[in-house]
Amino acid sequence: MSVEPPKEHNTAIAWTIHVFTSLGIVAGFLGLLSVIDGSPRAALTWFMVAVIIDGLDGPMARHYDISQAIPHIDGNSLDLMIDYVCCVVGPALFLARFHMLPGHRGHVSLVGLVCIGLILVSSLYVMSSKGIMTSDHYFNGFPAMWNLVVTVMFVLQARAWVNVAVTLVLVAFSFIPLKFIHPIRVRDFRKVTIPILVVWLGAMLYITWIINGRTSQIGCERHCLNGSAELVQGLVWIGSVWIIGVCV
């Protein structure tokens, strides 16, 4: 019976991956600055950069087993702190700043403030849950990926009350054990899901950059986007339906 040699742990590689993960908080901070500056396209672009970093660092960390190379750093805690800023606080501020919830003369209404409060508080419990992942690597309930939700709301120019309904449903799903797909770790349909995810994110990034600041505030009418943009919006719909469909 052969015994496998112990895996060598490269501390330099492990620190490089941790530093790469840490770039996510820089992207999140730049996204927050962009929201404050009134630039929705820059804000969502930086939040998208944070999503890409978050998607890449996990597989690298597991491949090199960096928890063994640097045991005194909890990579999961590091990841969750970054995620709360990039996936929760930033998107919540985005909803308020760009009038995506009910309000009057640029001010968020009580309903809007309740929605934002529910996003912030429910996400605390989601990210502190010890059972956030199932044994087959699905998320156990909605995983507080509000950055993606807000981006979809923005690129599809959803009405304020539609955004309220979506927010309330997803907050409820945060506490209901419905499986939500982790596109990288879940093996089911992965060969299809990853290409769809890439096209989906690319489509949202494209629409984000062609919708100007004025459109984002007053709402996009049917004629304000050209034919190619409407086609790309269709890709966003398809990607969203696929992600939800796999969960179901």
Tokens of 72: 């005194």
What per-residue confidence (pLDDT) applies to 217?
44
SS3 213: helix
**Higher pLDDT residue, 111 or 131?**
111
Q: Return d(Cα 143, Cα 180) in angstroms, integer.
A: 7
Q: 240: which residues sit within 8 A by CB, 6+ positions away?
A: 152, 200
Range 163-167 average pLDDT: 95
Task: Provide the angle, in degrees to the nearest 10, between the axes of the packed helices 190-210 and 146-155.
Answer: 50
- Torsional sign, CA 147, 153, 157, 162: negative
What per-residue confidence (pLDDT) applies to 9?
60
User: What are the beta bridge partners of residue 14?
Assistant: none
Range 174-180 average pLDDT: 83
Does 189 have pLDDT greater than 60?
yes
Range 82-99 average pLDDT: 93
**Higher pLDDT residue, 120 or 130?**
120
Does 4 have pLDDT greater than 80?
no
Does 216 have pLDDT greater than 60?
no
Task: Return phi, psi of residue 185, to 5°.
Answer: -90, -25
Does 165 have pLDDT greater than 60?
yes
SS3 133: strand
pTM summary value: 0.82
SS3 104: strand
Q: Return d(Cα 78, Cα 90) in angstroms, integer.
A: 17
Q: Which of 10-24, 88-102, 186-200, 221-235 has the lowest mean pLDDT?
A: 221-235
**Higher pLDDT residue, 193 or 106?**
193
Does 121 have pLDDT greater than 50?
yes
Q: How confident is the model at residue 135 (pLDDT cuts 50, 70, 90)?
A: confident
What per-residue confidence (pLDDT) applies to 214?
45
Does 199 have pLDDT greater than 60?
yes
Q: What is the pLDDT of residues 38-51, one digit of tens each?
A: 888 899 999 989 98
Q: Return d(Cα 81, Cα 65) in angstroms, integer.
A: 20
Q: How confident is the model at residue 33 (pLDDT cuts 50, 70, 90)?
A: very high
Does 173 have pLDDT greater than 70?
yes
| Residue showing tokens 């996400």 | 123
Pairing outcome for strands 107-108 and 103-104: antiparallel
- What's the gap between Cα 245 and its chain centre? 18
236, 152 Cβ separation under 8 angstroms: yes
Q: What mean pLDDT is reported for the chain?
A: 82
CA atoms within 13 A on the CB side of 184: 11
